[in-house]
Amino acid sequence: MSVVLDNGLSWREVARIGEGETLVLSDRAIARLARAREIVDAIVTAGIRAYGVNTGVGALSDTVVDIASQSRLSRNIVLSHACGVGPLLAPREVRAIIAAQIANFCHGHSGVRPAVVSHLAAFLSKDCIPDVPSKGSAGYLTHNAHTALVLIGEGHAAVRGERMTGREALATIGLSPLVLEAKEGLSLVNGTACATGLASLALSRAERLLKWADVIAALTLEAAGCQMAAFDEAVLALRPSAGIAKVGATLRARLAGSGLVAAAVGRRTQDALSLRAVPHAHGAAWDVFEQSGAIVDRELASVTDNPAVSGTPEQPVVSSQAHAVAPALGQAADSLAVAIAQIAAMSERRMDRLVNPLVSGLPPFLASDAGSHSGFMIAQYTATALSTENRRLASPAAMDGGITSGLQEDFLAHPTAAANKLLAILDNAEHILAIELMAAAQAHDFLTGMGERAAGTQAVYSMVRENVAHYEDDRPLGADIEALRTLIAGENPAA
C-alpha cells in the first residue's frame, strides 16, 4: 500500500511507512517543493544573506560563503555532520525518519530541489536503508546526515537487506549520486525529522502495547479473583478521565460473564492497588498517549527548517528562527516514557502476585511440582530487572542540557534522545507484559474446574496457548518470553 502526501502526514502514516508502506507525493506537494527552490535560487542570485545558504553554520553563521563555494558548503555540511556512533537504527526507524523528513520538505519552506525528495522517496519504495548510527544527536543533526551521505554516493546502505556502499546502493536502485546545491546540505541535516519519525513509531508501538496491557490485566484480574465493583462505570466516573473510562469499559467487557470473578465476589474487601488501580494507571497512560500523539501530529504539520524561505522569487524572504528546536516533542516523548514505564512496573507487580505463594493462593511460583520445579520464580527476576532499568531510562531527556557550537547553541531540548529512550522502554515493557501474560495463562491452568473464564479472556488465553504451552520446567523459559513478546509487538489482542 502507499501513503499519499498532499498537505502533510500524520504520525500514524509515518509509522505505516516505517513498517513498509511507500510514499507518493501529490502534484501540489511537488509544486510547493519547486516553488521553494525558486525562492532559494533567487536568494542566491540576489546575494541576500541567509544562514547556511551563503554563510557558515552554527558558530560560523557570520562567515560569508561566495556563490562558487555554496555547493561545496552543502556537501561539506553533510560530511562533517555524519559523525554518529553506536549500533545502527532498525530499518523501520530509518524509514520513519525519511518519511518525516520528506513531509517537512513538502511544506514548501525548505528549498531543496524536487530531485532530492524523489531520491529519498526512492529509498522507501526500493527498500534502500542508509546506515544510520543510533547515537550522537543532541537534537537532530547526525542521524539525518548519515541518510544524506547515501544521497551523494557516500556512506553505506542496505538494499533489500544486502549491505553495500552508498554509491553502489544508488546504482542498484537506478539512481546517480546527487551534487547538492545551495542550502540543500543544511536542509538535509536540519529539522526535527529524526525525533518525529522515531516518536511516530514509538506511538504506534505504545498504542498496541497499551491495548495488550489492558487485556493482560483482565486475564490476571480474573485469575486473582478480583472485586469487579471497583470498576463499575458509575464508580470510575467519580474521577473524570477519558483514559480511566476507556480502561474500565475494556475490563468490564473482557470479564463479562466470568465464573471465576463471580465466585470471588466478597472474597476481599478490596484488592491490592496493582489490581484495583488498573483503570487509573492504564487510563493515565492512555491520556498521555493521546496528548503525545497530538503533539507529534503538530510537529509533522510544522516547518522545522532553519532558515525557512517564503515570499516569492521576485520578493524572497528568508527567516532565521528556532523551529528546528523541539522542546514540546522531547517533553511528549519523556511523558510517554514515564507512562509506559509505570504500566510495565505495575505489570511486574501483578505478575508477582500470581507467582508469590504468600498472596496468590496458587502453587508457589506457578510450578507444576514446587520444589523440584522453579516455575516462574526467575522470570519474575527478569521482569523486576527490566522494570528497574525502565526507572532509570524514564529520567527526562529534556533536562539533560548541554552547550554546543561555541555557545551559539546554548540550549538543547534533546527530542531525539527522548524518542530513543522511549523506544528502549517499550522494548522492556513488551518483555515485562509478555512475562505477565505467560504467568496469567499458567495461573488459569491451575484454576480449571473452579469457574469458567469470560469469553473475552478465553480469547486471550487461547492466543497464548497457540504460541506457548503450559510450563513444566521442561524447556528454557526465555524462548517462551520471546514468543509472547513477538505476539505483543506484532499483533493486536484477540477480540
Residues tagged active-site: 51
Q: Which residues contact 154 (CB under 8 A, 6 or more apart)?
A: 78, 79, 82, 166, 167
C-beta separation of 415 from 404 below 8 A: no
C-beta separation of 199 from 296 below 8 A: yes
What does the block give as the cell for 363? 502453587
3-state secondary structure the chain: CEEEECCCCCHHHHHHHHCCCEEEECHHHHHHHHHHHHHHHHHHHHCCCCCCCCECCHHHCCCECCHHHHHHHHHHHHHHHCCCEEEECCHHHHHHHHHHHHHHHCCCCCCCCHHHHHHHHHHHHCCEEECCEEECCCCCHHHHHHHHHHHCCCCEEEECCEEEEHHHHHHHCCCCCCCCCCCHHHHHHCCCHHHHHHHHHHHHHHHHHHHHHHHHHHHHHHHHCCCHHHHCHHHHCCCCCHHHHHHHHHHHHHHCCCHHHHHCCCCCCCCCHHHHCHHHHHHHHHHHHHHHHHHHHHHHCCCCCCCEEEECCCCEEEECCCCCCCHHHHHHHHHHHHHHHHHHHHHHHHHHHHHCCCCCCCCHHHCCCECCECCCHHHHHHHHHHHHHHHHHCCCHHHCCCCECCCCECCCCCHHHHHHHHHHHHHHHHHHHHHHHHHHHHHHHCCCCCCCCCHHHHHHHHHHHHHCCCCCCCCCHHHHHHHHHHHHHHCCCCC
Q: Which of 347, 344, 340 is nearest to 221 (CA)?
A: 347
C-beta separation of 119 from 195 below 8 A: no
Q: Which of 362, 359, 356 is nearest to 446 (CA)?
A: 362
